[in-house]
Amino acid sequence: MINSMHYSSPIGEILLASKDNKLIGAWFEGQKHYSANADGTVEREDEALLKAKDWFDRYFNGEKPSFDEVNLAPEGTDFRCEVWKILCEIPYGETVTYKDIASRIAQKRGIEKMSAQAVGGAVGHNPIAIIIPCHRVVGSDGSLTGYAGGLDKKIFLLRHENCGF
């Protein structure tokens, strides 16, 4: 069973979803790939959802909570999960490029190179917005590329974290 609750953030409603007391989703209402893994949710709070709510409260109040304070269980392919794990390593207030992530994966796998576009696809399907900080990924030239929740939200989040945007 998938439990869910809504969180009102300064930049819009976020649907939080959990399964087996682990957070599987945090989607902006109407975002691309909205609640892709949360069909049949039941509006019911549980420990994972309350921890996520507390995490978001602290984040939007200017604190820097760590992703590991919430029991995360994003559902996706092995490749997507590998990318999402790397996203969790991006420090608060910093950005990396899709190319940087692709290079890390290529090096880890012992291959010459990895497609930055493939990384972009995985980043775009991140099911746990903000906590898994896909908003911290930018284009090779530092440009703000797409964001499933909308570019306006990405700009807000990067400014909130003093990333220079």
Is there a domain that residue 144 lies in?
A: yes
- Is 111 contained in some domain? yes
| Domain end call among 69, 93, 123 | 69
Residue 13 inside a domain? The answer is yes
At 38 the pLDDT is 58
Question: What is the pLDDT, as a whole number, of residue 31?
Answer: 74
Last residue in a domain, options 52, 69, 86 = 69
Q: Is 47:21 a contact under the CB 8 Å cutoff?
A: yes
CB neighbours of 61 closer than 8 A, spacing ≥ 6?
A: none
Residue 165 included in any domain: no
One digit per residue, pLDDT tens: the chain, 165 residues?
Answer: 899 999 999 999 999 999 999 999 999 987 766 665 556 667 888 999 999 999 999 999 999 999 999 999 999 999 999 999 999 999 999 999 999 999 999 999 999 999 999 999 999 999 999 999 999 999 988 888 878 888 999 999 999 999 977
Which residues are known to be catalytic?
A: 134
| Count: domains in the chain | 2
* pLDDT for res 145: 84
User: What separation in angstroms does the CA of 65 have from each of 13, 14, 24, 131, 139?
Assistant: 20, 18, 18, 9, 26
Same domain? For 58 and 96 the reply is no
Domain boundary among 69, 89, 124: 69
CATH code where residue 155 lies: 1.10.10.10
Same-domain check for residues 40 and 59: yes
Structure confidence at residue 28 (pLDDT): 92
Pick from 22, 18, 29: which is nearest to 148 by CA? 29
Residue 62 tokens read as 């200017």
Same domain, 152 and 92: yes
- The whole domain housing 43 covers 2-69
- Using CA atoms, how far residue 55 sits from 60, 96, 112, in Å, is 9, 23, 38
In a domain, 150, yes or no: yes
Same domain, 122 and 58: no
